[in-house]
Amino acid sequence: MKLHVPLSFENFIAAVSVGEIGREINLILSNRLNDSCLSECSYGLYLFRKAIYNFEKKKGIPLAESKGEIPFFRENLNLLVGPEMHIYATRLYETYETCLTTHPDLILTLNYEQLGEHCIFENLFLLRCKYDEEQHIRFFEDQLEKEYDKFFYDDEYTGFAVDSRFFSLLCNACLEIRAAHLSAQKEWILARLLMPEDAAYRYHDGCLESFATTPLPIEIIERISMPDYKKRRDEYTALAGFLKQKGLSPEELLDGFE
């Protein structure tokens, strides 16, 4: 199986320039809890909250004792309760055609098996997105059989038993869950968790933002494609030269290069 990553020229040039020349691309991972992604995350968190209410109803827990309104985020911060960790990720797709709908400058085609092995050694999460709403809710309800008594609210936003998986379930809701009408996208997520002091920061498009990077060995990349490259001769020529300058082979990597 192949997975495809849509990229802008800006992120690709930064990724290649920062990586070890000729051997890897330092793929940029964006903050999944920034304002532009929160609407997507809110769907999964909504289903998790719904599962809490369903569980309490089945168990006869009175509304006055409900945990259904426990905050999922710290006050004034796009930061989940629990460990002070940010979620960084990039999107991948099973089909090349889905990437085209995002109008990327470039598309990387990756070897799935090699990528999976790489993620194990780099402490990365490679997750296939799920689209069945009822299945999501049942999963959360099943988890609450073990987890419900292990989390509670406190003013420090750290009200969890030592062995609680509550934070993991919040991450699951933010990363993996998608609405059913998006199922044709066949999306995957490549993600990592980092403490704020371990992230990178930049001023981008008028905003201060955090991000992360992860090295992607060249062996994992099977193809670099530029959509409509035959109509973009100047950019295509420059891209080939850029790859050569960075010790990469356009003959082996660049789609259409002869």
Q: Which one is predicted more confidently, 36 or 2?
A: 2
The model's confidence at residue 152, banded by pLDDT at 50, 70 and 90, is: confident
Q: What is the CA radius of gyration of the chain?
A: 21
| Cα–Cα nearest to 218, from 237, 243, 238, 239 | 243
Residues 20-54 as b/e (b if ≥16 CB within 10 A, e otherwise) read eeeebbebbbbbbbbeebeeebebbbebbbbbbeb
Range from 6-10, 19-23, 199-203, 230-234 carrying the lowest mean pLDDT: 19-23
Q: What is the pLDDT of residues 198-218, one digit of tens each?
A: 999 988 888 899 999 999 999
Q: What is the pLDDT of residues 49-82, one digit of tens each?
A: 999 999 999 999 999 999 999 999 988 899 999 8
Residue 102, φ and ψ in degrees, nearest 5: -90, 0
CB distance 210 to 199 below 8 Å:
yes
- Show the tokens assigned to 217: 């060995």
- Show the tokens assigned to 133: 């709403």
For the chain, the average pLDDT equals 92
